[in-house]
Every structure is written in structure tokens, then in C-alpha cells.
Amino acid sequence: MVCYQLPPLSSGLLEGLGGTEAQQTTLHPLVGRVFVHTLDHESFLQRPEHVFSVSAPIPITYHAHLQGHPDLPRWLRYTQRSPYQPGFLYGTATPEDRGHQIIEVTAYNRDSFNTTQQMLVLLIGDPEGPLLPYQAEFLVRSHDVEEVLPSIPASRFLTALGGLWEPAELQLVNITSALDRGGRVPLPIEGRKEGVYIKVGSASPFSTCLKMVVSPDSHARCAQGQPPLLSCYDTLAPHFRVDWCNVSLVDKSVPEPADEAPAPGDGILEHDPFFCPPTEATNRDFLTDALVTLLVPLLVALLLTLLLAYVMCCRREGRLKRDLATSDIQMVHHRTIRGNTEELRQMASSREVPRPLSTLPMFNVHTGERLPPQVDSAQVPLILDQH
């Protein structure tokens, strides 16, 4: 199911956001078919009767989760480019997802901070018509995922692809953002897009043109940075820029052989001539190994200790050998300097020296008088009394 984009929301519609009971909508996704539901602003609001003019759009964001769970089911995704644009719930249900699921969607008005809820009842069933055993996946680098989710771009892609896959009735199987497949976020440059993977299925076999795209020769050209072989006209250009080196074809028309279930054995290995383990293990005494492991390092440490003690204690030269190796003139010079130094130290400790003139009181701070220094000139050696 694909819902169409709706026009922007008027400011007067915000008065209907909040204060209403949760609406309920029933949808019918199909197993193996892409499901797209548009979360447009008008579906969550009620138009007041007195509103007639349309003004600037109002930012609204959404939060969706499976009832009773904090997140969406594994097959369903949510995206919204900005609060001024609608949101999308999209994905492809698997056979394990058949049944009944309820999605709770909450809308948040970013201007008035009002909220409203909507219940989406999903009745997942099997599709009618033939199976789609032939599936091809294309990487479209010229679009973001929300640009191909509406029905008009999706129908345009199928129509353009019909020129390469004839005769075939094509149906969308899955749509996935390139970011969810390990792609990088593009630079904020005009014209750069995130990219989107579009998987298309059909009951008709692949055309010769598509088979040539995935041939070994095309893969070799792609490895060298060249475009692959394309024997037909690219009907997808210029509206859709497809990376032809990332095209994959899946053929499910031939069922894969089921893996044989392993038969349980008796637990005893069969006889193998190359593996003959010993049946009996001989007793072994590990005392010798333990002693060698402990005693050898201890003996080595003891020998090193004794050698170091001999070098430090028994090989010292001593002062006598040092004095004998020194010349007599050097010894006399050393003794003379040392003796003179000791004599000067003794004389300095016993002499009486008068105080320096600079330390005597020359000026009375209280009376302001200048007093001559009272110094005994006889005690000043070699210095005459100066006035």
C-alpha cells in the first residue's frame, strides 16, 4: 500500500492537534511486497470550521512503535526528512510476520507542544497473483529514500525499468536507504544524495540486457573503474541515476536443495589410520623436573651474589696503595695546603676584631643629633683615625 503526499498544513489546523481520542486506521500489508504509509499532518488533525486561509506550515514530528513494545517491528522502518515534511512507515513483511499488528503513532506539534495519537492496525496477509521468483536490486544514487516512497516516483521507476525488462509486470519488493546498508552520509553539497536500494520482482525471466550487466566481463570492467556492459538503452536516465556496478539479480525459480539433516551417531569415532591416540598413558615422575626448575635459578643467583661480594669487599685497593701511587711533590703540596687551611681557621676563631664603622650609631633618630663614633683608635690595626 502506497499513500500519496498531501499539501502542507495550515496554521489553523493546529487547533485540532490534541484533545481528541486516538484514531484507528486499518491497513493491509502483503508478504513480499513493499508497504508504504504516509504520516501526513492532516491525518492527525481536525480542521476547525472557522479556518479558511492557509498560512505557513507548522513543524510536526512523529514517534511510532509496536503496541506493547518500545520500537517498531523488525520489518518496518520510519523516516522523516524534516518536521515540515511528512513521515513514512515503510518496509517489506516476511512470512513470519503474518497476522495482526498494531502500530501506535504519536504526533508532536513543535509550536504548541500538543500531541495526538493514531492506531494503525496492520493485517498482514499473502499476496494474490503469481509469485515473483525473479528479483533485481538497483542502487539509485540520485534520490533519497523518502523521494521514492510516494507512489508517483515509484510508478515512474517501474515504468522506466520496463524498457530494460520486457515483457514483464514489475512490482516493488523492497525499498531500503543506502545508509541502512552501510552507505556514508553525503557532504552537504547541492545534488548529493544518500542513495536508495530498490528491489523489483517479476514473474518473467531477466532480460538479456540485465544478464549482461551482471556478467563476469562487466564485473571486470567495474573493478577497473569502467562502466559495465549495457547492450540496451538506459531508459532510467536521466530521472534515475543507477549505479550499474551495484546491480544484483536473484533467481528463485529453481528451489534450492534442502540441507540434509545430520543423522545422530553412537558417539564413537570410526577407525582412522592417520589418528591413533595411545590407549594407555605411562606413569611419569615430575620430581626431577620440579627440582631442576627451582634449584638451577637459585644456584645461579647464589654464584652471582658471591662474585659481587668478592669484587666489592676483597678487591679494594686501599689508601696505602693510593698514597704509594701518588708522587711525593704532589703529596707535599697537598699537605701544605691542608695545614695552612687549618691554621687560618684557628686564627680566625681566636682573634678579636672591632665592629665596622658602618655598624656604629652615627645618628640619633629621637633627638636628631649627630654623634661621632666612640672608637678606640688603638684597637684599629693599620688604619689611621680619620675625621
pLDDT above 90 (res 6):
no
Mean pLDDT throughout 147-153? 91
pLDDT above 90 (res 66):
yes
pTM score of the predicted model? 0.60
With bands split at pLDDT 50, 70 and 90, how would you rate the model's confidence at 282?
A: confident
Identify the sign of the CA torsion 210, 211, 212, 213. Answer: positive
pLDDT digits (tens, 9 = 90+) for 366-382: 565 655 555 554 454 44
Confidence (pLDDT) at 295: 94
Q: Which of 7-11, 132-136, 199-203, 260-264 has the lowest mean pLDDT?
A: 7-11
With bands split at pLDDT 50, 70 and 90, how would you rate the model's confidence at 13?
A: very low
Q: Output phi, psi for 338, to 5 deg.
A: -70, -40
Confidence (pLDDT) at 324: 78
pLDDT digits (tens, 9 = 90+) for 313-333: 877 666 777 777 788 888 888
Confidence (pLDDT) at 73: 94
